[in-house]
Amino acid sequence: MYGRKASELVKELASSEPGQLSSFNNDLFAQVLEECNGHLHHLQPLMRKIQEHENKLKDTGRSEDEMGNSEDERRKSEAAKTVIQAAMKSDQFGALVHHLSLVRNKRCLMAYVYNRAEVIRSLGWMCDRVLPAEIEERLSSTEEEYFKNHAATLQSYMGGLDLDLTVDMVPPKDPYIKVRVVDDMGGVLLGDQTANVARHAIMFLRRIDAEQYITQGQMEELTG
């Protein structure tokens, strides 16, 4: 069935998690492109035939004018016209089917690339110009190129503005938090100094200093 592969391509897009990329489906993509060219192969001869029918109709019309208009001849020529018109209609519908299938396939291919491009741009906000290898291998080569170009475009805008827009992605919080020391820790690195902390001590630390100890379970954040 025409257009089935293209719709699979779009379904694949629709079923992936928002903001996530699956591997570029080169195989399916190439098959849809091939189908497009197949439509063209059908389309071209049909368009030629339609043109021929049109010419023939014109000819019939002309010969009608030239010839006398005996009842018999007119009837014959009408019949011939009807036959040509019927043949033309069938070719026109055939052409339309191929044209519409081609357009539909184009839209699906474009939707696939366009929507992936949207995700690729959003990655640009998270990774600074270099994509992690496991993501990069899911891109097609033109997508990799696009990522680089777009990242450069973004950099150039921010450079002109003299304002980095890739930080502060979420609203700011108090840079200091209250923590309790859970473990015997000995020396703790705070900024560029080391401090000795006792177990169960309650301290007020910079969030960025405390975060590693909290994730390691050596400190806990206190609220209230």
Distance (Å, rounded) from C-alpha 58 to C-alpha 81? Answer: 10
| Shortest Å distance, C-beta 196 to another protein | 21
| Shortest Å distance, C-beta 57 to another protein | 22
| Shortest Å distance, C-beta 186 to another protein | 26
- Burial bucket for residue 16 (CB in 10 Å: 0-12, 13-18, 19+): middle
Nearer residue to another protein within complex by CB, 88 or 123 = 123
Nearer residue to another protein within complex by CB, 133 or 167 = 167
Distance (Å, rounded) from C-alpha 5 to C-alpha 31? Answer: 8
Q: Is residue 79 helix, strand or coil?
A: helix
| Shortest Å distance, C-beta 96 to another protein | 10
What are the CA-CA distances from residue 161 to residues 121, 122, 153, 169 (Å)? 19, 20, 13, 18
| Shortest Å distance, C-beta 28 to another protein | 13
**How do strand 219-222 and strand 202-206 relate by DSSP bridges?**
unpaired
Nearer residue to another protein within complex by CB, 137 or 183 = 137
Residues in the site for another protein, rule: CB under 8 A? 17-19, 33, 36-37, 40, 43, 99, 102-103, 106-107, 109-110, 113-114, 117-119, 121-123, 125-126, 140, 142-143, 145-146, 149-150, 153-154, 156-157, 160-161, 163-165, 167-172, 174-178, 204, 223-224
What are the CA-CA distances from residue 44 to residues 6, 91, 97, 219 (Å)? 22, 11, 13, 73
**Amino acid, res. 141:** S
Nearer residue to another protein within complex by CB, 63 or 122 = 122
